Amino acid sequence: MYIRRVTRKNKDGSVTAYLQLAHNEWDPKAKYAKAKVIYSFGREDELDRAVLERLAKSISRFLSPEQAFEAREAIGEAAEFLFQSCKRLGGVWMLDQLWRKLGMDRILQQLFASRHHQLDIERLIFAMVANRALAPSSKLAMEDWVREDVYIPGLSQVASHQLYRAMDELLAVQSELEYQVYGAVSDLLNLEVDLLYFDTTSSYFEVDPSEAPEEDTFRKQGFSKDKRPDLLQVVIGLAVTRTGIPIRCWVWPGNTMDMTVVEQVKKNLIGWKLGRVISVIDRGFSSEENLRMLQRAGGHYIVGEKMRSGKAASKEAMSTRGRYHQVRENLHVKEIIVGDGEARKRYVLVYNPKEAERQREERKKLLEKLQAELDGLKQLSHEVHSKAACRLRSHPSYGKYLRQLKDSTLRLNKQAIRDAEKYDGKYLIRTSDDTLSPEDVALGYKQLIEVEDAFRTLKSTLELRPMYHRLEDRIRAHILLSWLALLLVRIVEVDTGESWRKVRDELQRLALGHFSSKNGDLYQCTEITAKQRQIFAAVGVEPPPRFLEIQPNS
């Protein structure tokens, strides 16, 4: 079956053409095939060509792409362009547009302007930040990633030694970079910095401590928040706004204690002239010296207090009678003032009924298991009994609920159980700011979870660890790059209301095809989905154009 064109010569010498749908049938009398017209489309010059286009499209639905191409090739209409390659575009495009929207490219170009680099350091730094956010890998693996996997505007290929050089240059301008980035981000996003949340975490290295060089004063063993005390580590601090935007990071040797870092953090932030800042910190930083430090230059603090710390003021606060006031569902607060004059301390005791019920249920299950263990001791021989009893007494969860009788028999400690019940669903907060309502104090401290979320993103999504760098400067630069990636990621999460993993997976489906012909090269994007457009709109950046680049042959 085919479309044929037949002509007729008119009396005036003109020619009229007609288009027909026909197929050949064998004529047994004539002994050859004759065309049989199935349908006549009419005169060619009067034909509605859209009819033919619809017919062609409906037929092509029943052909494979290869068959459709062969059919066009058979009639001399083969495609002009050859499909050369396909790279991921959506994630890099989003990060690059946000990077430029924040003015990061301009800031870095200004900082490196006087250094007269032959390399585009800004593009190298952005490539490492994008890699950390999209597909964390080593600097050597980034060579293939840039060349084969993604399209990075202004950077088609890179060498690992160039990336290490860019890391060194980045660290040299760290202080000014952090300050300018904060200024650009706070102005653009209108950040509220009256409450700043601060916390620390640790990150380890895949290095046997016995193999570490003696001159290594940075990678040290210390209290590991990753539960890897057997490995060398560094301590990382983050200052985060109430919406979860990380505005600054710090790095200290792995054996640094939390209590010793507040002074440096405070001094660094005072230099930024943030105005009235209330620092929200966890219980690990609540020494009196740290609290006095936070009040310098007109600052204030909201800090968690250990309810069983043994401090006289904390004991008095916990034992003070008074009514709780419900301010939100599952949030009850009680304001407590301890002392007078300069010794006056303001506390807020917070009670969460739902959390209290959860803790009671967990303790009930734990005590049932413990009682079963105690019942099982009676069936054991003397030597085995002694070992099992020692194991129970030293158990981190069971031991606090046990007491030993004079005959060495173990029993449940009912007084310890009653004492534990007093703390169910409660936490104690101390603040130096008298202008904040108890509700604001409680909610402010509760949002300290934003820092924990930032650390979780840093370690899991951005794969901060494991780290293999040995030199202190490279370690600091690696964490600085991770902070820049975290900054972009958290802005996207806040704007879209979705996790970066979901956003990243959706955007990475947007690809860029490279087509070539005798006339030049063409770079065309796949069609943008409604979900992808929604993401770009939420972040306030333009999606890529359909044709990203056209390179005609000269």
Provide the 3-class DSSP secondary structure of residue 62: coil
For the chain, the farthest-separated pair of C-alpha atoms sits apart, in whole angstroms, at: 131
Q: Which pLDDT tens digit goes with each residue over 12-42?
A: 888 888 888 888 888 888 888 888 888 888 8
Residue 76 confidence (pLDDT): 46
| β-strand pairing of 325-328 with 331-338 | antiparallel
Residue 447 confidence (pLDDT): 74
> Which DSSP letter does residue 78 get?
-
Higher-scoring residue by pLDDT: 268, 310:
268
Q: Which pLDDT tens digit goes with each residue over 209-235?
A: 777 777 788 888 888 888 888 888 998
Q: Among the listed ranges 93-97, 372-376, 539-543, which one has the minimum average pLDDT value? A: 372-376
Task: Please check the confidence at residue 312 and state whether its pLDDT lies above 90.
Answer: no
Residues 6+ apart with CB under 8 A from 269: 196, 239, 248, 277
Nearest-angstrom CA–CA distance, 48 and 52 = 8
Q: Where are the domains of the chain?
A: 2-72, 355-421
Report residue 452 CA to chain centroid gap.
12
Q: Among the listed ranges 101-115, 205-219, 529-543, which one has the minimum average pLDDT value? A: 205-219
Residues 6+ apart with CB under 8 A from 81: 515, 516, 517, 522
Query: How much is the pTM?
Result: 0.72
Q: Which pLDDT tens digit goes with each residue over 340-362?
A: 877 788 999 999 999 999 999 99
Show the DSSP H helices in 325-381 as ranges: 353-377
Residue 20 confidence (pLDDT): 84
Handedness of CA 489, 494, 496, 497 (dihedral sign): positive
Task: Please check the confidence at residue 510 and state whether its pLDDT lies above 90.
Answer: yes
Mean pLDDT for all residues in the chain: 84
Task: Please check the confidence at residue 317 and state whether its pLDDT lies above 70.
Answer: yes
Nearest-angstrom CA–CA distance, 203 and 479 = 10
Residue 193 confidence (pLDDT): 61
Residue 86 confidence (pLDDT): 92
Q: How far apart are the first and last CA of the chain?
A: 43
Residue 459 confidence (pLDDT): 82
Calculate the alpha carbon distances from 149 to 157, 494, 512 in Å: 11, 28, 10
The kind and range of the H/E element at 404 are: strand 402-404
Q: Which pLDDT tens digit goes with each residue over 282-295?
A: 777 777 888 887 77
Residue 191 confidence (pLDDT): 67
Task: Please check the confidence at residue 67 and state whether its pLDDT lies above 70.
Answer: no
Average pLDDT over residues 464-469: 76
Two structure tokens written together for 443: 């909610």
Q: Among the listed ranges 41-55, 215-229, 416-430, 495-509, which one has the minimum average pLDDT value? A: 41-55
Give which of 243, 54, 174, 262 is closest to 475, Cα–Cα: 174
Task: Please check the confidence at residue 296 and state whether its pLDDT lies above 80.
Answer: no
| β-strand pairing of 511-517 with 246-253 | unpaired
Residue 554 confidence (pLDDT): 57
Residues 6+ apart with CB under 8 A from 389: 377, 408, 410
User: Do the Cβ atoms of 249 and 181 come closer than 8 Å?
Assistant: no
Percent of the chain exceeding pLDDT 90 equals 32
Two structure tokens written together for 258: 């939390």
Beta bridge partners of 102: none
Average pLDDT over residues 424-437: 88
Beta bridge partners of 201: 236
Nearest-angstrom CA–CA distance, 477 and 479 = 5
Higher-scoring residue by pLDDT: 56, 177:
177
Handedness of CA 234, 240, 243, 245 (dihedral sign): negative
Beta bridge partners of 240: 197, 246
Would you place residue 78 in the very low, low, confident or very high pLDDT band (cuts 50, 70, 90)? very low
Nearest-angstrom CA–CA distance, 442 and 327 = 10
Average pLDDT over residues 503-512: 94
Task: Please check the confidence at residue 88 and state whether its pLDDT lies above 90.
Answer: yes
Write phi, then psi, for 307 (nearest 5 degrees). Answer: -65, -25
Nearest-angstrom CA–CA distance, 440 and 265 = 24
Higher-scoring residue by pLDDT: 465, 547:
547
Calculate the alpha carbon distances from 551 to 22, 83, 147 in Å: 43, 15, 18
Sheet holding 511-517, edge to edge: 82-88, 511-517, 520-525, 547-552
Percent of the chain exceeding pLDDT 70 equals 93
Show the DSSP H helices in 394-510 as ranges: 414-421, 438-446, 449-456, 472-496, 500-507
Q: Among the listed ranges 449-458, 473-482, 513-522, which one has the minimum average pLDDT value? A: 449-458
Nearest-angstrom CA–CA distance, 244 and 303 = 18
Residue 409 confidence (pLDDT): 85
Two structure tokens written together for 500: 């970066």
Give which of 293, 98, 276, 299 is closest to 192, Cα–Cα: 276
Average pLDDT over residues 416-443: 88
Nearest-angstrom CA–CA distance, 500 and 320 = 45
Residue 74 confidence (pLDDT): 52
Would you place residue 97 in the very low, low, confident or very high pLDDT band (cuts 50, 70, 90)? very high
